[in-house]
Amino acid sequence: MSGAALVAIVASIGNLLQGWDNAAISGALLYIKKEFKLESEPTVEGLIVAMSLIGTTIITTFSGPVSDWIGRLPMLILSSVLYFASSLIMLWSPNVYVLLLARLINGFGVGLSVTLVPL
């Protein structure tokens, strides 16, 4: 495999994870509502979906200048660490507030990858 093809494959993984996250949360939301008894809380349900996008919006404002200063590779590694950590936190969330925090951290990982990968 040529170097350019490998770079393209690795770079596309960040965007794949963003799409996967958006698709997976819609199916998981049915079970999350039952687990945390959110049937009568549509605002919290909306926040669970939106927290990833809020995190993405926040981090994209800073990721360009910070990656110029630190470098793209460390920032992409940080993006991967944030994805991994947020996945574990979401998996073991004891309450909805920890889940919301994990979704925000996940958004930070998404924001870093979608900002840095096209560069």
Instruction: Identify the three-state secondary structure at position 37.
Output: coil
**CB-based contacts of 22: which residues, under 8 Å, 6+ apart?**
52
CATH of the domain at 103: 1.20.1250.20
Q: How many CA within 13 A on the CB side of residue 50?
A: 7
**pLDDT tier, 39 (very low <50, low <70, confident <90, very high otherwise):** confident
Instruction: Identify the three-state secondary structure at position 1.
Output: coil
Instruction: Quote the CA–CA distance of 32 and 98 in Å, as a whole number.
Output: 13
Instruction: Quote the CA–CA distance of 14 and 83 in Å, as a whole number.
Output: 10
What is the per-residue pLDDT across 76-113, written as a single tens digit (0 to 9) for each? Answer: 889 989 999 999 999 999 999 999 999 999 999 989 98
More confident residue, 97 or 20: 97
Number of structural domains (the chain) is 1
- The mean pLDDT of 11-25, rounded to a whole number, is 77
pTM of the model: 0.85
- Its domain, for residue 80, covers 3-116
